[in-house]
Structure 1
Amino acid sequence: MTSSAPRSAEETPLPEQPSAEELADQVLAHPSVARLHGGAFGEIASYYPGRRLTGVRLREDGTVEVGVVLRLDRPLPETVADLRDALAQRWGGTPVDVHVCDVETAEDPSTTG
């Protein structure tokens, strides 16, 4: 016999927590993101045995912090809102802080070979 009573909060599964790698992949897939960035002091990072992933930090309170270098192909606030919304939507409403650490222009010497 099945019960039609609503499930308690204890029985409701929590949204899947993303890994830092999954978040990094999703951020880097955005056409306006040139690369991830660790922030002024490299503080935006996730640590794994033997390696470090720069540009994504999963905080203990469940929020996500992302550092990016953006291309100037559209207004920055629009790009940041797009990134924040896409990440939050994909990961069940996880709060996301997006830090624009730098921008890249077409004339940027670091992008030429």
Structure 2
Amino acid sequence: MSDDAGPDPEAVAAAVLTHPSVLRLDGGPFGSIASYLPGARVQGVRLGDPVEIAVVVALGMPFPEIAEGIAARVRAVLGDEARAVDVTVADVGAVGTEVVAGR
């Protein structure tokens, strides 16, 4: 996506997924955290002020540390060091297992 079209939610999603504790993106409560593109929906990323991210994470690292790592990745993609990023841990799972929300 070009700069004049605004931030790219797919690029933000890809950056979030590079965090070692993130198993997958999630729509958050009621599936409301998402961005919409022509013919596509990017679940787990809503660009705004603040940026909202929802993820399913693996056990092991403290949640505040995970959230800060995710926020740093988002800010790097958006090029805005001061931007507020809210991270929701929608569920917790184990690496290598299928995660089912709500269980």
Per the alignment, residue 80 of structure 2 pairs with 92
2:57 aligned to which of 58, 70, 91? 70
Query: Residue 52 of structure 1: CA displacement?
Result: 0.9
Is structure 2 residue 46 aligned with structure 1 residue 57? Answer: yes
Per the alignment, residue 91 of structure 2 pairs with 102
Number of matched pairs: 92
Per the alignment, residue 15 of structure 2 pairs with 26
Higher gyration radius (CA): 1
- The answer for unaligned runs of 5 or more in structure 1 is 1-16
Query: Residue 48 of structure 1: CA displacement?
Result: 1.3
Alignment-mate amino acid for residue 74 of structure 1? M
Query: Residue 89 of structure 1: CA displacement?
Result: 4.2
For 1:107 and 1:54, locate their aligned partners in 2 and report how far apart those are by CA, in whole Å: 21
Identity %: 45
After TM superposition, the score normalised by the length of structure 1 is 0.71
Question: Relative to total residues, which structure has the larger helix share, 1 or 2?
Answer: 2
After TM superposition, the score normalised by the length of structure 2 is 0.77
User: Where does structure 1 differ by over 2 angstroms across 4 or more consecutive aligned residues?
Assistant: 85-91, 105-108
Query: Residue 18 of structure 1: CA displacement?
Result: 2.9
The answer to whether the Cα contact below 8 Å between 2:54 and 2:89 also exists between their aligned partners in 1 is yes
Secondary structure at 1:65 match in 2: strand
- The answer for unaligned runs of 5 or more in structure 2 is 1-5
